[in-house]
Chains A and B, each alone.
Chain A
Amino acid sequence: MKKSFAKKNIRKLLLILGSCVFLAWTLLPLIWMFISSISSTSHLLDMSASWFPDEPTWERYKDIMFSETILNKGTIVSSPAAVFKRALFNSIIVSGITTAVSLVVGSMAAYAFARLAFKFRDQLLMLILFFQLLPSISLLIPLYIMFRKMGVIDHLICLVLVYVSFTLTYTIWVMSGYFRSISRDLEAAAMVDGCSRFGAYVRVIIPVAKPGLTAVGILAFLMAWDEFMYSLIFMNSQSNKTITVALSEFTSKFGIDYGMMMAAGCIATVIPVFISIAFQKNITQGLTMGAIKE
């Protein structure tokens, strides 16, 4: 009895120690990012200065949130901070739609790949993998020409299309693995109850696969959130830029506005984290007993 008590304590200690190391590793750079965003550059350059600024400046955040955005024939000619605010909106739209589409379309395809038998199934899966491995830079010009002919250059829709095509692949791969781990009895039971195969997929399989879908959703959202090259090339006007491109504009010919970049970076980091907290419940939500293949 005593022994197990000691063991329990050691386990607890190890857990606490592990959390501390892990928290330090994760948080210290983030804290530094935040400090950078509220300190003046001269304070950051001073090695003997205190870590936290004596007079934190919130100017940069005010700049981003409140600077006036002048819309002029689709071209905003105003500070990069104002462009960033607009870009934030664009990025949320693009990443959100990308995530939704790739989850719906991707999980459907993944289910088919995991459960249904049809011709060329494995070959198609390999083909999808192959496409995924192409470096984006090599598809850039042909895609540009294609979109120009379709007349969608400088429309957010072409970003959504490209991002979906990229994230879909991973959604399919991850989810088809996930669906395989779910017990077949589950849909069989649903079908006995009168569901069609597709109905069983929607009503029974999807709810059970929530943790997987959430993980893939985060993946898709962040891939779209962080994409730079396509966004740079396909979007022309200031009002259609996404955050990564807007962020790069804090680097000018003359220097890098590090403080602004960190302030914008903090905002760009917080949003996906909040979104994921909202969905966090789904990851931790345990699976119902018997849902999993044993």
Chain B
Amino acid sequence: MKKRIISVFLVSSFVCGMCMGCGGTDNTQETEDPDDKPDKLVILMSSEGTGPMENAVAAFEEETGIEIELLSEAYDNMHNKIMTMVAGGSQLDIVSLDTVWPAEFANSELILPLDDYLDDDFGSQFVDIAWDQLRYDGKQYGIPTGNDAKWLYYNKEILEEAGYSEPPSTWDELTEMSLDMQEKGLVKYGLALGASQSEGLTCDFTSLLYGFGGQYRENDAEASGEWQLDSESAVAAVNWLKESLQNGVLDPASITYTDRNVMNTFMAGDVAFVTGWSSYWTTTNSEEESAVAGKVGMTMLPGSENAVSGSVAGGGGFAVVSTTASEKWAVEFLKLLCDPDVQKDFLSGVSQMPTLKDLYADEELVGEFPILEMAYPQYEFAHFRPILVQYQEWSTMVQEALHEVMANGAEPQDVMEELQQKVTSQITE
């Protein structure tokens, strides 16, 4: 009896569901003139930046009389919050845009291209990688406000004790130095990576791949052409990972670290090297948090005989949501975020690296924030992760393949060949 009730219930709910298929949608587009001033713009951003953002908001409100409602969530929750708010039909005009979201968001028509509102040379004021990574399909989907890449952080004190005055410039050199320092009993391991099965691993792999002279696709600059995941350089990069685990250069716990908590291992002084984002500079040098404060060096990630260095681009910016009723004014607000003073606020407030080229040449600013000078050279060698609608799927395949090697000890050559096949057949862009 009970079973029958359940099945009847299920069937009837299926039927109802089908009937609802004809129902309309909640996302009715406003047909007002886009130039009309709205009463209010709603912005959703990740929590750490709200402080500096306040100034920009105040300036905008005063200038235009448009009220700004600033919503904030933890960075990890942004993606979900954006999607449910838009899908649920709430007013949302401007959202944070992470580096790897533009393709995915643009393809689901969640955000709008901004080209109509921007001058042709608007992009030239930004550091190239910052601007270009928010492009998709030939259109600009976001205004970059934060620039980032990965650098090599090293423990100066340990290096000096071991008799090295310079950080390594190739990955092989890093291996040599690490083994030497381990032998001398100065460190437990040479390098720690945030190599758990998550986005951080894809980032580190990108750095290694380009550092070993490889690239993701045949025509990398235009994000087209055959995949090159089983190239000699790609296999060499994975081989280096595997060997480093075997000879003890790489902390075996790396496969449990994310790109956020791997910093702790470095701050504990257990390893001489760590790869990290720009924010590591401030944290690892804080007396309160770090046992290695003041001993930290920051330099470009190593390369190989085939490449000077290879790094991965990060950062992000802001985009305009497609359901907004006031495109024009939303873009106006985004333009305000490109103001040098606003970017300085973000730099001093939350150590967010600016996207404007000029700021890196601003002597006064560089004097105050030496990280600008140390960071800049790496941008030239920073590369994008592939700009794909199916990015998450792609990234998961890469992470799975690398874990086959790092956790299960599979052969790099086989794994990368399989990955190449899988990506070629399943990523259909």
Contacts and interface: CB of A to CB of B under 8 A. Distances in A.
Interface string A215-246: 00000000000000000110011100000010
A75 B71 CA distance: 7
Interface stretch (A40-48, A105-113, A265-273, A274-282): A40-48
Interface residues of A, number: 35
Contacts of A73: 67, 69
Choose among B69, B88, B263, B291 the residue with the greatest number of A CB atoms under 10 Å from its CB. B88
Contacts of B268: 45-47
Contacts of B1: 122-123
B169 interface: no
B267 A249 contact: no
A188 interface: no
Contacts, number: 108
A126 B73 contact: no
Interface in A99-141: 122-123, 126-127, 130, 140-141
A145 B260 contact: no
B264 interface: yes
A40 to B, nearest CB: 6
B166 interface: no
B81 A41 contact: no
Given A141-B88, A251-B75, A45 B291 contact: yes
A77 B70 contact: yes
Contacts of B50: 77
A144 B48 CA distance: 26
Given A41-B290, A45-B264, A249 B47 contact: yes
B48 A256 contact: no
A74 to B, nearest CB: 8
Given A41-B290, A126-B5, A130-B9, A238 B72 contact: yes
A286 interface: no
B288 interface: yes
Contact of A145 (B75, B77, B89, B283): B89
Interface range on chain B: under 10, 10 to 19, 20 to 34, or 35 or more? Answer: 35 or more
Choose among A123, A127, A145, A236 the residue with the greatest number of B CB atoms under 10 Å from its CB. A236
A42 B2 contact: no
B291 A42 contact: yes
Contact of B9 (A41, A47, A127, A236): A127
Contacts of B26: 145
Given A75-B69, A126-B5, A153-B90, 8 more contacts: A144-B84, A144-B88, A245-B77, A252-B48, A252-B75, A254-B350, A255-B263, A255-B283
Interface of B: 1-2, 5-6, 9, 26, 46-48, 50-51, 54, 67, 69-77, 80-81, 84-85, 87-90, 260-261, 263-264, 267-268, 277, 279, 283, 287-291, 293, 350-351
24 contacts: A40-B288, A41-B267, A42-B291, A42-B293, A73-B67, A75-B70, A77-B51, A77-B54, A126-B2, A130-B9, A140-B84, A148-B89, A148-B90, A232-B77, A232-B81, A245-B73, A249-B73, A249-B74, A251-B76, A252-B46, A252-B47, A254-B260, A254-B279, A254-B350
